[in-house]
């Protein structure tokens, strides 16, 4: 099993779009994929049409597992075992594609997890998925909180997404954190790829090109840069229809861009190619 964390220097970088689109492509080619939604905006959860009903004792989201929270607090609840990812995992409309739902409560959960010193819990929680999952994609929050660092701790590889706006010009804080955690032994993950997402057409002005040029000028970025994913209305449309891009608009250019990204990630050894 391989675990890949999708991270960024700021929100709105295309992490969720990339996790859902690439996850769908991996599943369509026969790999069993689980997306873990660590973001309280729960974009990938909505995208994949997954829900957690607060009154359903059988349903759990990622925070219930990390905080070891049995669903009901009624009589007998004390004796209930805490849920695992095997309880929380949900199927989706795509065969082989599963999701562990996020939730708006993840903001409070992050504080509680920090208080409980739970930085390694995600890593432990993912392990049982090994029984039937080939690739885990962690859709991280846009901020560098304990959920994001626990994703680094759990990951084999980090894929850094960025959109060419000013706030995304610098990914270095996240990158430094990945390196620091490897040095202090709390993670073995490395930044394995840098993915330019939501790239507008050239005619929209020199500004975006300038940021891309600046990124390409940093050797560490350039060496890890995947092909670009263009900005195209089919992606937000896929999201609002709750239908992954490869199913919603298979012939769109943006879907084709993601094919090239996947090919590149295969070459880098990030996404193990499917057995022939
Ligand atoms: N290739 C694309 N073209 C157009 N819009 C996109 C594309 N990728 C993402 N978006 C949109 O940009 C916004 C941010 O993308 P998202 O994947 O949610 O980023 P993040 O998860 O990093 O916050 C969303 O509204 C999404 O629909
Ligand atoms: Mg997101």
148-173 pLDDT, tens digit per residue, is: 999 999 999 999 999 987 666 568 88
Q: Spell out, as residue ranges, where the chain has pLDDT lower than 50.
A: 276
237 C-beta neighbours (distance < 10 Å), count: 14
What residue spans define the domains of the chain? 2-266
**Global pTM value:** 0.95
pLDDT computed for residue 205 by the predictor: 66
177 C-beta neighbours (distance < 10 Å), count: 17
Residue 161 Ramachandran class (φ > 0 left, ψ -120 to 50 alpha, else beta): beta
Residue-level length of the chain:
276
* Architecture category of domain 2-266 in CATH: 3-Layer(aba) Sandwich (3.40)
Residue 51 Ramachandran class (φ > 0 left, ψ -120 to 50 alpha, else beta): beta
Asked if residue 14 has its Cβ within 6 Å of ligand 1, the reply is: yes
183, 135 in Cβ contact below 8 A?
A: no
113, 66 in Cβ contact below 8 A?
A: yes
| Atom 7 of ligand 1: nearest residue by CA position | 198
Give percent helix, percent strand, percent coil of the chain, each to the nearest 5.
45, 15, 40
Dihedral sign, Cα of residue 24, residue 25, residue 30, residue 35: negative
pLDDT computed for residue 54 by the predictor: 74
Among 102, 159, 196, 198, the mutation site with the greatest number of ligand 1 atoms within 8 A of its Cβ is: 198
């Amino acid at each position: 099993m391989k675990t890949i964390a999708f991270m960024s220097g700021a929100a709105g970088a295309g992490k969720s779009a990339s996790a859902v689109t690439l996850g769908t492509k991996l599943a369509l080619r026969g790999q069993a994929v689980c997306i873990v939604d660590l973001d309280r905006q729960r974009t990938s959860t909505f995208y994949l049409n997954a829900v957690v009903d607060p009154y359903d004792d059988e349903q759990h989201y990622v925070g219930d597992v990390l905080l070891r929270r049995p669903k009901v607090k009624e009589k007998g609840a004390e004796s209930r075992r805490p849920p695992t990812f095997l309880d929380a995992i949900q199927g989706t409309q795509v065969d082989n594609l599963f999701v562990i739902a996020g939730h708006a409560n993840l903001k409070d959960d992050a504080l509680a997890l920090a208080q409980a010193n739970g930085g390694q819990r995600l890593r432990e929680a993912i392990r049982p998925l090994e029984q039937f999952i080939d690739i885990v994609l962690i859709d991280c929050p846009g901020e560098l909180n304990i959920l994001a660092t626990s994703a680094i701790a759990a990951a084999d590889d980090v894929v850094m997404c960025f959109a060419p706006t000013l706030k995304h010009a610098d990914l270095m804080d996240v990158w430094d954190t990945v390196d620091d955690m490897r040095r202090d032994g709390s993670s073995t993950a490395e930044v394995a790829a840098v993915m330019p997402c939501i790239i507008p057409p050239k005619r929209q002005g020199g500004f975006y090109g300038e940021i891309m040029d600046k990124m390409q000028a940093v050797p560490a970025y350039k060496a890890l840069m995947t092909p670009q994913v263009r900005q195209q209305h089919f992606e937000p449309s896929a999201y609002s229809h709750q239908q992954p891009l490869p199913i919603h608009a298979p012939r769109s250019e943006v879907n084709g861009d993601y094919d090239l990204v996947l090919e590149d990630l295969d070459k880098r050894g990030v996404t193990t190619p499917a057995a022939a």
